[in-house]
Structure 1
Amino acid sequence: RPKRATAPAAAPSAPAAPAAPAAPDTARPTALAIAHAGLDKKAEDVTVLDVRGLTSYADYFVVMTAESDRQAGAIADHVEQTMKAQGITKVGVEGYEGGRWILVDYGDVVAHVMNRESRGFYDLEGLWADAPRFTVA
């Protein structure tokens, strides 16, 4: 009677290495504070995009809509005042002169205050479609 082929014995496996502890997400509270500051000034469609691992220059984008250029300036000003009161200073700001898209950079978090037309045209949510997101209300 012919011998049956047997599967080779599996090599003993090494014990699994413990998972490295996840680094604390220090930018998320900043993103949420920016989102809430925008809501204080009646920003609409406030969305937080988690771009960690998708870009090297930020962890979160906070995107919000203003109904007018004047409101965009008021939202950006209030975001800056709120963050400054929490001891968080901006790295830079751009777009105040036009008001259609004001960008306030806090390093790990970038706030985008946009009028409806600019938000639709630039479609940051579409551009960063792979980013997990949540709406803040």
Structure 2
Amino acid sequence: MRLLAWCAPVLLIGSLAACGSHDMYSDMLNNDFPSVRAVSPPTSMVGTWTGSMGPYLSTLRLDASGTGLLCSSWNGKDSISRIKFDGQQIRSQDGGRLNVARASQESMAVTAPYYGGADYSLRKDGSLTEASYYCAQQLR
């Protein structure tokens, strides 16, 4: 069950598409999150974003400092984890990675290449109206 709780953020988090598909378990076992130095992201990435990623309704909050939170809900399984932007990727405390393909003032496209790759679209959600109830409560 503990591994299942990790699945939400891990499914969301990937690596640069040019690097090919990453092994989720390798990233988790070789987790270097504590040593990742947060870098201020582009202004267009700062904020709160919500979108469906597979079966998960996920909300990501990224601050101007390059740190934030990733919250996901699906089928009664809720999780929240710390994230850092390292200048190229969003990194999760569980070792997972997220490639940001593009970000504007209204949307952010992300790529999670685990399990053959997946592209997801997040929408700006500063009021948390699209977030799951759990995530809205955690991120207020």
| Alignment TM-score, normalising by the size of structure 1 | 0.32
Q: Which has the higher strand share?
A: 2
The structure with higher relative contact order (CA 8 Å, sep 6+) is 2
| Alignment TM-score, normalising by the size of structure 2 | 0.32
